[in-house]
Structure 1
Amino acid sequence: MTDLDIAAAQYCSVAGDLNANIERHLRFMQRAAKLGIKFLLFPELSLTGYEPSLARELAQTPDTALVQPLRELAVQLGMTTVVGLPLRHFGSDKVLIAALVFAADGSQVTYTKQHLHPGEELVFSAGNGGPLLKLGTEPVALSVCADFTHASHAQAAAQAGAGLYASSVLISDNGYVHDSALLQGYARDHAMAVLMANHGGPSGGWACAGRSAFWAPGGERVVSAQGTGDCLVIARRREGSWQGHLVEVNI
């Protein structure tokens, strides 16, 4: 097995402020790159915060120039980076919850959330998911929050050959025990690694739990944040074995 260096960016979004969040994402990316990270995963709707009431006015197209600095820095750092934002395709009034993938080679992939939580349909439309990513030789499947609450989603990722299931989420204090158990179960039952990036502070009226985490294939929790706040949850694979550690991010 090849070496792998990945991280969840546990991130506190600035509500509704794309420009401020882009600047903070850039700093997170630079910090992660200095630590040798090659794949960086941000939480659901990280560039705007989880703000359904603002999503329609903040929605961007996949080719928006606003995120060009993120695209360019991903290439410069050689670090594939996954960020979240509300998305609108040209000519459509539907708003999707999306993860944009800025690959280290300059390409871009869009993943759109397939399953909505109750009430999200008042603002958002269900998306179509997205293709497996390749991180070197490692197949990576994305999910966004409610996607992982459907066992069929993780099962399909495993059947497609994913070695890593990377989930961008907003999980509250009340939901954390249940939701983290689901993710750990997928690592155990499908023998694939699971990386979860959660919001590190309140967003959209939710008290987010933080506690972003990584589980190795087989279900062992290798590393997790202790609570809320900005940090990097880092997992490294060496000779087939996983190790993890936390790094606080002060920006």
Structure 2
Amino acid sequence: MLRGESVEGLMQDFKIAVAQTTSKKGDVAYNLQEHVRAIKCAMDNAASVVVFPELSLTGYEPQLAQQLALTKEDARLKPLQEMAIEGNIYVVAGAPIVTGGKPEIGAIIFSPDGDISSYSKIHLHPGEDLFFQAGSDFKILDIKGYKIAMAICADTNNEEHVKHYAEHGVSIYVAGVLIGGSGYASDTDKLASYASKYHMLVTVANHNAPTGVWEPVGRSAAWDHKGPLAEVGVEANALLVSAQVNGAWTSEAINIE
């Protein structure tokens, strides 16, 4: 933790976790096991929601997206739905989502009441339109009185995206991303500026190992209006847990066992 060495003994009102994990190419079964481990860790640390990196269930594999695309009702996702219910936790997992045409780059959202919904990336990176179609609908989760905005990677490069959410009273902006070394400084500078300008918690979940042709750099992180809160190591399998403590945000990295 960068600001505040410990949250122990303080009043903790709310916790959100982002999961920095490894995704194997097209191996949904393996990737689900990694999600289950991370969700257990989030539950052990009393998080109300845990968010995974972009396309975390399949890896970032555009050329395979059509064959790997999932529906929200895919039977393989049942363990995530069950854990959300049993652990009273929202789980947000990345996957290509089946549509009538090209798949969308999606986040499948499992809620504690058993409901399954989704958010799809609105702003595509150049070239992604060859394999994916863009989403069109914004998504806000209302959890314990906190309005949480959903975003995926390139969404965060477009300030109109976060501005829309800010105008709707959002206090947390969270994204599953895939960020490499060359883009990390500029991307995170922009994320920090959103936290400052819109007075919200901003936090992102990044991959920590190569996926597709990309080499992500981990370093999942969180910022509030005062600046950086904390970040995870480059190769760590870890959660970054941000807590609202006595009216202020504090964050810490927790290794996934």
Provide TM-score, normalisation by structure 2: 0.93
Asked if 1 retains the 8 angstrom alpha-carbon contact of 2:17 and 2:239, the reply is yes
Asked if 2 retains the 8 angstrom alpha-carbon contact of 1:201 and 1:229, the reply is no
> Which one of 224, 233, 239 corresponds to residue 226 of structure 1?
233
Counterpart for residue 77 of structure 1: 87
Counterpart for residue 6 of structure 2: none
1:162-173 equivalences under 5 Å are 162-173=170-181
- 1:23 has 2:33 as partner: yes
- 1:199 has 2:212 as partner: no
Asked if 2 retains the 8 angstrom alpha-carbon contact of 1:169 and 1:196, the reply is yes
Give ranges in structure 2 of 5+ residues lacking alignment: 1-10
- 1:118 has 2:126 as partner: yes
Shift of 1:27: 1.3
1:89-238 equivalences under 5 Å are 89=99, 92-216=100-224, 218-238=225-245
Counterpart for residue 256 of structure 2: 249
Separation in 2, partners of 1:145, 1:138? 22
Change (3 A) 1:107 1:2: farther
Give ranges in structure 1 of 5+ residues lacking alignment: none
Separation in 2, partners of 1:62, 1:130? 17
Counterpart for residue 60 of structure 1: 70
Change (3 A) 1:106 1:2: farther
Separation in 2, partners of 1:21, 1:224? 23
Asked if 1 retains the 8 angstrom alpha-carbon contact of 2:12 and 2:243, the reply is no
Counterpart for residue 55 of structure 2: 45
Asked if 2 retains the 8 angstrom alpha-carbon contact of 1:110 and 1:130, the reply is no
Matched to 1:34, the amino acid is: D
Separation in 1, partners of 2:54, 2:128? 13
Please give the secondary structure, in 2, of the residue aligned with 1:158.
Answer: helix
Separation in 2, partners of 1:199, 1:226? 11
Over residues 27-78 of structure 1, what are the superposed CA-to-partner deviations in whole Å (9 max), with x where a residue is unaligned?
1101111111111010000000111111111001122112111011111011
Please give the secondary structure, in 2, of the residue aligned with 1:206.
Answer: coil
Separation in 1, partners of 2:12, 2:44? 20
Over residues 137-177 of structure 1, what are the superposed CA-to-partner deviations in whole Å (9 max), with x where a residue is unaligned?
00011000011100100000100111100111000011000
Asked if 2 retains the 8 angstrom alpha-carbon contact of 1:185 and 1:219, the reply is no
Matched to 1:133, the amino acid is: L
Please give the secondary structure, in 1, of the residue aligned with 2:182.
Answer: coil
Separation in 1, partners of 2:173, 2:63? 29
Matched to 2:17, the amino acid is: A
Shift of 1:18: 0.7
Separation in 2, partners of 1:173, 1:58? 27
Please give the secondary structure, in 2, of the residue aligned with 1:174.
Answer: helix
Provide TM-score, normalisation by structure 1: 0.95
Structural RMSD (CA)? 1.3
Identity of aligned residues (%): 36
**Number of matched residues?**
247
Shift of 1:2: 7.6
Separation in 2, partners of 1:206, 1:33? 30
